């Protein structure tokens, strides 16, 4: 995977993310991505973010978005905004691919986290589910994208993942990942 490509592909699920408008192009105001999710494809588990909201809009196909405990079926032209701190997830429950956009406001470091995560998949540094084998890598990715998984107790996430992410920064793991997987414009070069 070239670090300069606009589109990245998940090496296990086939999910595609295209960075339509990167944070560096929007003065850090937002990130705008287009996602192609294969049939029966699942996004991340139920989670929330404390630093940004997300607006999902379907272009083609059907997308099931869970917001809090409500399942919302989106079809072309439909949109839903998930506020900061609200549990959510998305899935493609149909037999057809779905294409949708997501606007993250502000964009945080979501692009960086996805490029690193997909790069680790390409380099086979993940398990069969696509999760990094190295817990420091996991912690750094979750921290970059400000993602908190609902199934994991908050105390564990705050204590364990924050401390692991700090260790990753201190020992240069974060810098190494960024140097390997990110284009220059995301590294401030």
Q: What is the pLDDT of residues 84-112, one digit of tens each?
A: 999 999 999 999 999 999 999 998 899 99
Residue 1 is assigned to a structural domain of this protein: no
Asked whether residue 14 falls in the same domain as residue 33, the answer is yes
173 and 95 together in one domain: no
Say if residue 64 is in the same domain as residue 96. Answer: yes
Region 126-146 average pLDDT: 95
Secondary structure E strands in the chain: 7-9, 16-21, 31-37, 47-48, 53-60, 63-67, 70-74, 79-82, 88-91, 98-105, 148-149
Q: What is the overall mean pLDDT for the chain?
A: 94
pLDDT, tens only, 7-56: 999 999 999 999 999 998 999 999 999 999 999 999 999 999 999 999 99
- Enter the pTM of the model: 0.93
């Amino acid at each position: 995977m070239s670090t300069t490509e606009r589109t990245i592909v998940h090496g296990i699920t086939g999910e595609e993310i295209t960075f339509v408008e990167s944070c560096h192009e929007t003065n850090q105001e937002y990130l705008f991505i287009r996602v192609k999710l294969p049939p029966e494809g699942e996004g991340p588990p139920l989670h929330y973010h404390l630093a940004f909201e997300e607006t999902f809009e379907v272009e083609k196909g059907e997308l099931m978005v869970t917001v809090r405990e409500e399942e919302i079926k989106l079809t072309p032209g439909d949109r839903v905004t998930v506020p900061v701190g609200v549990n959510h997830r998305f899935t493609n429950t149909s037999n057809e691919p779905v294409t949708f956009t997501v606007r993250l406001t502000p964009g945080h470091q979501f692009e960086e986290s996805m490029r690193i995560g997909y790069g680790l998949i390409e380099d086979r540094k993940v398990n069969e589910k696509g999760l990094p084998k190295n817990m420091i890598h996991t912690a750094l990715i979750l921290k970059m994208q400000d993602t908190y998984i609902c199934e994991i107790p908050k105390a564990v996430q705050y204590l364990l993942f924050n401390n692991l992410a700090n260790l990753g920064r201190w020992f240069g793991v974060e810098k190494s990942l960024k140097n390997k997987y990110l284009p220059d414009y995301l590294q401030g070069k």
